[in-house]
Structure 1
Amino acid sequence: MKSFTSLSVTMALLSGTTHAFWRMECHDRIALARIDPLVDPGTVSQHSHAIHGGNAFSMDVTYEQLRASECTSCLATDDKSAYWTPSMHFQYENGTTEVVRQVGGMLAYYLLFANSGEEIEAFPEGFRMLAGDTRLRNFTGPVPDPEKSLWTAKDKTQLLLGQKAIGMNCLNYAKDPEPSMYRHFLPDKDYMDANCVNGIRAEIFFPSCWNGDPDSDNHKDHMAYPDLVNGGTCPEGFEKRVPSLFFETIWDTYAFKDAKGQFVFANGDPTGYGYHGDFIMGWNVDTLQSGIEQCTNESGQLKDCPVFELQTEADCDKCKLSMPHVLSDDDCAGPADGLCGNVAIQYGPEYASALKPGNSEAPSAVPTPTTPVQAMPTLPYTTAKSAVTDQYGGGLSVANVNGIASQASEINAQAAAPTDDAPAAPAPTQPPAPEQPHGSIVSTTTYTSAGVVYEVAIEEVAVYVTVEAPAPQKRHAHHMHHRRDREHGLLGRY
């Protein structure tokens, strides 16, 4: 089992916000099973999930039951919460599937993003939420995402913010890391074989703006995204702030290099657009609130927070769910004929048909697509402006916007080749990437934290805005962060 040994982290993602955080390390899953008490309460779920957290998890689990868990697979012993996402599988050409190996369990970031004057509240007892849409098979915005400072109202709809909250990060530890949530779709296998030598990191950001209700009928309507996904302003009616959850799961896709077939999530999604995550709060509320108020060390490591009692990785790994008898015949790991639950693979771009919960039929040998295979856009490997957070690929990182803009000609209108019996979908329309302004450095300051020297440079940039009438010149100050790690000799740009 690999540990999550952090090199060093800075979370200067959002100007004018608080940015304390910690990473909840859940070193092994408690189960790979068709259980989902949010979407399919009381019955066998539509598809399999990689499940982490308290081992009292069940088809109709309550907060009180989670709190009574005998153990948790997460490092902090008080965290009996439930965290789950669809598992990733590889489907060979003959239809046989097997689960892709999970590397290092799962990380659940608790990011304490709030604007000046806002308070962050602990999740209350009974709190539940879901992020993502399992039936989504397309992306409705431009590719790549525009620079956040250029987002308009069209970029900030809750629908599009939720789609931007998904990331399929191509991992190659020999290179600088890609930014989180840069690529909102699963690359095709040829791309992964050539570039993602350390696997794919599936990411999902949860909304952090809250209306005060612990749950809603669809487990989503009581929450909303701030207008920059991982920060910004909350919409009217959702002024309360809770921790921003960010799930990361690394899948060892490179183990299937040169194998003929495709990667697909357990919900029958080969695109990644339908990736989703679920959370049921299982903390003691007072403990969680204390963590929010006191865990401000910039390392993000749990050991640097005095609030939490920690267990060993070995104890995390031993925590397992007692599988319900109704699932005793399931073989979600495989190799098996098709996906667990007889889930059909649906490619889109149309909205996928609903899956049937409780399906106990044997899977088909070769699941038949309900729609033609859609062509996926291509994004080149790019580097983030922030440095890698740990040696196993975990961590938030911010897009290197200038690098993305310079590669725009490579990005536009590229698509995967069609199969013999399926026409290629039209390549998505790509807007030209905006030219990034450059100015002069007007002042610099440095500070040291946890053995890392941070340099903050204030860059003055002239920005010209074209409107129907002549517009005056506007001037803005942009912050650039340079980092020099004394021990590792790393240099990253923020």
Structure 2
Amino acid sequence: MKSVASLSAAVAVLSGTTNAFWRMPCHDRIGLERLDPIVDPGTASSHGHTIHGGSNFGMSTTYEDLRASDCTSCQFSDDKSAYWTPSLHFVHDGGMTEIVPQIGGMLSYYLLYGDNLKAFPEGFQMLAGDTRLRNFSGPVPDPPTSSWTADDMTQVSLGQKSLGFNCLNYNKQPEGSRYRHFLPTKEFMDENCANGIRAELMFPSCWNGKDVKSDDNKAHMRYPDMIDGGSCPEGFETRLPTLFYETIWNTFAFKDKAGQFVWSNGDPTGYGYHGDFMSGWNVDTLQSAVSTCTNPSGRVEDCPVFAGSLQTEAEQGVCKIQNVMKALSADNCSGPTDGLCGNVPVQYGPQYANPLKAGAQGGEAVITPILSSVASMPTQSYAPAHSKVVDSYGGGVSVFNVKPPVVPIAKPTPALAEAAVAAPAITPPAKAEDANPDDGIISHTTYTRDGVVYEVAIKEVINIVTVDSKRRRHAHQHRRNIGRN
């Protein structure tokens, strides 16, 4: 086994730079509620969320409220920030809906890309993703970053590429993070994703340097032109830590059951996946961590700033929302129940979804979801491949093969729609010869096997696999340095 130092050196050689980071585990959610004080302040949110972090969380939460939390579900006891995303649900053929089991809470990565990073200021909050989106405007799969055009680097395009759905199977080579920007079909997950789906979301990190929030919760922030790295747009030169959320959902628990997976905002495609962040950090503590937590392991245990204030998983797991909202007492967001929490309709697209209504009381007459047999989606196959990268770790993950969307004809039932849904346009993948073999690491990902968490740093390379055929592949490095859960 290589040491952490030698492994990090190998990764630095691949990437051309040392990208420090730490991951903040939040072992359990503090609630599954229709709460979103950023988008729907002062009222019940239009849809349910899985919420992690500081316990003093409600309809009108402020920075001061989070700092006054009795506890946090995150490992560092003074990280009182709030992290939340939509929850994933399974809608059975008859319309009965239940939560998909969530595995291990949430991992929030603090990636320290860029120079002169500043801590999130007091009162800072932001949003990533678009809850109403039901399509993807770019080529599938993503071309290599060396081939990106101006169209790839618009804020709209970068935002769409900032999310991903990683098919987990710990008996196979792992998929790279943010390769697939949509939720796979249930048939694909039944066949390939024995350990579930990991939902991933990258937040923008370029700040205008003055506003801690904005009317749309996005205008004060921008993505750098490579999403996680690269250059910031003019007027947004101040770099903040790059947040990256990971949540794992046990979709395999519904293997061979008739129905469909749907996010709590009524999105069966995944294109409308999104996340919210409200800082609850002591600013001086976070600034010290940004400057000090550069151990390549990414473990909070390996940063002196967090020493003496780390919680066990059991301590994290008992933290829950302090004050349950009476207005939401009739909600049943976990199910089983008819329909989605908040009476949310399922909207397929590819057109932009209708806005959802905030403020509805729980217990109202529910909408039984009308499901087509499957959301109309492209197919990106699980295709791990051998790599010729010269190192002792070896292995590789290929760019996925893409097939056109397929909408099978369903047997007529009361819960199935009669008409098929129009398919989004698919752009052919970029040619392998367009790739740049000197590109650096393009993403990080993690997976667990035999109780050990591995980190994967992924780099694009080109391999000629036959005399007359080329395929673009991804080399990856494994870090087995995190310890047992």
User: TM-score, with normalisation over the residues of structure 1?
Assistant: 0.81
In structure 2, relative to structure 1, the CA distance for the partners of 1:55 and 1:483 (3 Å cut) is closer
Aligned residue for 1:241?
Answer: 239
Contact 1:49–1:86, Cα closer than 8 Å, also in 2: yes
Aligned residue for 1:232?
Answer: 230
Deviation of 1:374 (Å): 5.3
Following the alignment from structure 1 to structure 2, what is the Cα–Cα distance between the partners of residues 161 and 415?
A: 26
Structure 2 residue 145 is matched with structure 1 residue 143: no
Kindly report the root-mean-square deviation, in angstroms, between the aligned alpha carbons of the 2 structures.
Answer: 3.2
Residue 261 of structure 1, aligned match among 259, 262, 266: 259
Once the two structures are superposed, residues 359-414 of structure 1 have per-residue CA deviations (whole angstroms, 9 ceiling, x without a partner) of 12535352247x9975210000134999xxxxxxxxxxxx968x22xx64xx1424
Following the alignment from structure 2 to structure 1, what is the Cα–Cα distance between the partners of residues 422 and 86?
A: 26
Following the alignment from structure 1 to structure 2, what is the Cα–Cα distance between the partners of residues 41 and 81?
A: 17
Aligned residue for 1:104?
Answer: 104
Aligned residue for 1:127?
Answer: 124
Following the alignment from structure 1 to structure 2, what is the Cα–Cα distance between the partners of residues 455 and 184?
A: 19
In structure 2, relative to structure 1, the CA distance for the partners of 1:44 and 1:460 (3 Å cut) is closer
Aligned residue for 1:413?
Answer: 404
Deviation of 1:176 (Å): 1.0
Aligned residue for 2:269?
Answer: 271
* SS of the residue 2:383 aligns to: coil
Following the alignment from structure 1 to structure 2, what is the Cα–Cα distance between the partners of residues 460 and 201?
A: 27
Following the alignment from structure 1 to structure 2, what is the Cα–Cα distance between the partners of residues 424 and 218?
A: 30
Aligned residue for 1:29?
Answer: 29
Contact 2:76–2:310, Cα closer than 8 Å, also in 1: yes
In structure 2, relative to structure 1, the CA distance for the partners of 1:366 and 1:121 (3 Å cut) is same
* SS of the residue 2:379 aligns to: coil
Once the two structures are superposed, residues 313-356 of structure 1 have per-residue CA deviations (whole angstroms, 9 ceiling, x without a partner) of 11100111131111111110000010011000000001000101
Once the two structures are superposed, residues 281-311 of structure 1 have per-residue CA deviations (whole angstroms, 9 ceiling, x without a partner) of 0000000001001100100000000001211
* SS of the residue 1:193 aligns to: helix
Aligned 1:173-322 pairs, distance under 5 A? 173-212=170-209, 213-308=211-306, 309-321=309-321, 322=323
User: TM-score, with normalisation over the residues of structure 2?
Assistant: 0.82
Contact 2:146–2:435, Cα closer than 8 Å, also in 1: no
Structure 1 counterpart of 2:293, one-letter code = C
Identity %: 58
Structure 2 counterpart of 1:255, one-letter code = A
Aligned 1:378-457 pairs, distance under 5 A? 378-383=379-384, 403-404=398-399, 408=401, 411-419=402-410, 421-426=418-423, 428-436=425-433
In structure 2, relative to structure 1, the CA distance for the partners of 1:210 and 1:104 (3 Å cut) is same
In structure 2, relative to structure 1, the CA distance for the partners of 1:429 and 1:59 (3 Å cut) is same
Following the alignment from structure 1 to structure 2, what is the Cα–Cα distance between the partners of residues 279 and 487?
A: 28
Contact 2:373–2:408, Cα closer than 8 Å, also in 1: no
Structure 1 counterpart of 2:161, one-letter code = K
| Structure 2 unaligned regions, length at least 5 | 1-6, 388-394, 413-417, 439-453, 464-473
Following the alignment from structure 1 to structure 2, what is the Cα–Cα distance between the partners of residues 186 and 457?
A: 24
Aligned positions, number: 431
* SS of the residue 1:259 aligns to: coil
Aligned residue for 1:376?
Answer: 377
Aligned residue for 2:469?
Answer: none
Once the two structures are superposed, residues 46-92 of structure 1 have per-residue CA deviations (whole angstroms, 9 ceiling, x without a partner) of 01100000000111111111001110000001100000001100000
Aligned residue for 1:391?
Answer: none
Following the alignment from structure 2 to structure 1, what is the Cα–Cα distance between the partners of residues 73 and 457?
A: 38
Following the alignment from structure 2 to structure 1, what is the Cα–Cα distance between the partners of residues 481 and 240?
A: 35
In structure 2, relative to structure 1, the CA distance for the partners of 1:353 and 1:99 (3 Å cut) is same
Following the alignment from structure 2 to structure 1, what is the Cα–Cα distance between the partners of residues 29 and 70?
A: 15
Aligned residue for 1:352?
Answer: 353
Aligned residue for 1:87?
Answer: 87
Following the alignment from structure 2 to structure 1, what is the Cα–Cα distance between the partners of residues 158 and 200?
A: 14
Once the two structures are superposed, residues 443-471 of structure 1 have per-residue CA deviations (whole angstroms, 9 ceiling, x without a partner) of xxxxxxxxx9x99999999xxxxxxxxxx
Contact 1:179–1:385, Cα closer than 8 Å, also in 2: no
Contact 1:63–1:281, Cα closer than 8 Å, also in 2: yes
Contact 2:165–2:180, Cα closer than 8 Å, also in 1: yes
